A = this chain, B = another copy of it.
Amino acid sequence: MGRWEPDARGRMTRAALELFAERGFEQTTACDIAERAGVTERTFFRHFADKREVLFDGSESLVRTAREAILAAPDLPPFDAALVGVVAATDLLEGHREHAAHRARIIEANPGLRERELLKIAALADLTTEALRTRGVAEPAAALAAHSAVAVFQVAFARWVAEEQRADLATCVAETAAALRALV
C-alpha cells in the first residue's frame, strides 16, 4: 500500500457497506473492510475509530451545516428558519439516494446502530434549538420549531429512501413540510 491512496476513505466506506449487507454488521471486522478496500488495517484506523464510525462519518458535518445555515438565514419565522437548516443538511445527501437507503437498512437491522442514529438525530434537534435561540427565538418556540423541522427531516428521509423512483430529497422535504402545516 503506497502513501498515495486516492479516495481511500470513499473506498473504505463503500467496502464497509457492501460487507455489512453481505455478512451483517456484527460479522464484519475492520480488517475485512480494509482488505476489501485494498488498504492496510492501519490505514483503516487512521480514518475511523471503529467499524461503526464508517456509518456515521457524515453525521457531524450534516449537523454543523444545518446550524450554520440557520445562523446565516434571513429574518424568518422560527419554523421556517429551522427548515432552512434541514434543507441545507439534506443538500449533502442529495444524489446519494442509493447509498443512504443501503445505510438505512443496515442501521434498522441493528439496535446498537439504531441507538447511535437516534443520538445523532437528537443532536440535530439540540443544535437547531440552540441556533434558533441564538437568533433570538424564545422557548418553547425554539425547541418546538427545531423538533418539528427534524420530524419533517425524518419523515421526508424515510420516504425518499423507500421510493426507488424518487431522486430528489429537497422536493420530498418541501412536500413533507407542507403536509405538516396542513396537519397541525
Instruction: Give the number of copies in the complex.
Output: 2
Residue of B nearest to A177 (CB): B184
Interface: A145 (CB within 8 A):
yes
Main secondary structure of the interface of A (DSSP, over half): helix
Interface: A140 (CB within 8 A):
yes
Contact B151 A78 (CB under 8 A): no
Interface: A183 (CB within 8 A):
yes
Q: Identify the interface centre among A77, A180, A181: most chain B CB within 10 Å of its CB.
A: A180
Instruction: Determine the interface band of chain A, counting residues with CB < 8 A from chain B.
Output: 20 to 34
Q: Which residues of B contact A144 (CB under 8 A)?
A: 151-152, 155, 176, 179-180, 183
Interface string of A106-143 (1 = CB under 8 A from B): 00000100111011011000000000000000011101
Q: Determine how close the nearest CB of chain B comes to the CB of A75; give it in whole angstroms.
A: 16
Interface: A148 (CB within 8 A):
yes
CB-CB contacts below 8 Å: A140-160 with B: 140-141, 143-145, 147-148, 150-152, 154-156, 158-159
